[in-house]
Structure 1
Amino acid sequence: MKKIFGLFLGMIMMVSFVGGCAPKKNEVKTVDLKEVHAAVKEVLGEDYYPNRELTMEEIENLIGIKETDIEIVIAEAPMMSVNVDTFIAIKAKEGKGATIEESLEKHRKFLVEESLQYPMNMPKVNSAKVVRHGDYVFFLMLGKYDDRQEATDEERLEFAKTEVKRAEDAINKFFE
């Protein structure tokens, strides 16, 4: 009887240990947005064009995100309005990730459907992406311009999507 009880107790302890070590499905790592930003810049190299920090007032007015929902933000856009490249990284206050994601997605849809853009920027605008990991939310409209003269609109769009994917992959590595 003691052996059976000991074996049963040992099995319970092992299951508890394995279960305690497994990552929780909804658990997101804590990351440093400065490190994420640096990784994106490194991946894109000279093709990272945002060079001006967006103010909180711009973020609120253009995108509709309230400062009260943000814990940390890094947001950059180009100095020249000819370019559209934008990087926004937000660590939302606890539980506000979905709200931030919704605002960024609404902004992305506005850019695609209603804003006026230079033709050279359309592939980049159409490939813009919102990426979310819990309360960390990112807006990516980045990368090299496709300067091939013979490229079709579809090829330019695929090129732009590949550039955004490079930035997204750099971000996702922080949450693996």
Structure 2
Amino acid sequence: MKKIFGLFFAMIMMTTFLIGCTTKKEAKTVDLDKIHEAVKETLGEDYAPNRELTMEEIENLTGIKEDNIEKIIAESPMISVNVDTFIGIKAKEGKGDIVEEGLDKYRKYLVEESMQYPMNIAKVNSAKVIRHEDYVFFVMLGKHDDRQEATDEERLEFAKEEVKKVEDVINKFFE
């Protein structure tokens, strides 16, 4: 009986020790303004968004409500012929799923339902939602592929490489 009690007591102590040694991973805090500036710097003249989107526009486009957002930077071009868009959102704690879902919904709408100028199809199809916990980004950015002889597949690959540049910039802030 003493051995059983001793073994039971040792297991309780070991469990308590292990629980005490585990640490909760803290969410990384980054500055959306710095990410935005780094994206703009990386793309240089190929960063086309020059108009801030209103919260009403964001809600209409994505369904994301302002009460799920702690901070947002959202830009698109003034001229609707160009589709370049940057949306960076720091969701309120625990609301990253809701924000990601809204941005995914917007991307899906653009790809599957919206009417696009032929020159924008590759860029729209390469748009990407990037998430790091409660930070969520929608990027449809980069240089326009002006090669006259390029195939649709080559244009799509070019657009994906442009988005990848932006994704790499964003990801560096979360390393």
Alignment TM-score > 0.5, same fold: yes
Query: In the alignment, which residue of structure 1 is the partner of 2:111?
Result: 112
Query: In the alignment, which residue of structure 1 is the partner of 2:33?
Result: 34
1:25-82 deviations in Å (ceiling 9; x for gaps): xx43100000000000011110000000000010011111100000000000000000
Letter in 2 for 1:144: K
CA distance in structure 2 between the partners assigned to 1:153 and 1:28 by the alignment: 40
Query: In the alignment, which residue of structure 2 is the partner of 1:56?
Result: 55
CA distance in structure 2 between the partners assigned to 1:118 and 1:47 by the alignment: 19
TM-score, structure 1 normalization: 0.86
CA distance in structure 1 between the partners assigned to 2:78 and 2:27 by the alignment: 33
The aligned runs of 1:12-161 (5 Å cut-off) are 24=25, 27-161=26-160
CA distance in structure 1 between the partners assigned to 2:118 and 2:62 by the alignment: 22
3-state SS, counterpart of residue 90 of structure 1? strand
Query: In the alignment, which residue of structure 2 is the partner of 1:173?
Result: 172
CA distance in structure 1 between the partners assigned to 2:62 and 2:104 by the alignment: 9
3-state SS, counterpart of residue 173 of structure 2? helix
Question: Does the CA contact (< 8 Å) of 1:28 and 1:133 recur in 2?
Answer: no
Question: Does the CA contact (< 8 Å) of 1:75 and 1:87 recur in 2?
Answer: yes
TM-score, structure 2 normalization: 0.86
Query: In the alignment, which residue of structure 2 is the partner of 1:162?
Result: 161
3-state SS, counterpart of residue 139 of structure 1? strand
3-state SS, counterpart of residue 175 of structure 1? coil
Q: Percent identity?
A: 76
Runs of 4+ off more than 4 Å? none
Cα RMSD for the two superposed structures? 1.3
Letter in 1 for 2:141: L
Letter in 2 for 1:158: E
Query: In the alignment, which residue of structure 1 is the partner of 2:9?
Result: none
Question: Does the CA contact (< 8 Å) of 1:28 and 1:134 recur in 2?
Answer: yes
Structure 1, unpaired ranges of 5+: 1-11
Q: Larger Rg: 1 or 2?
A: 2
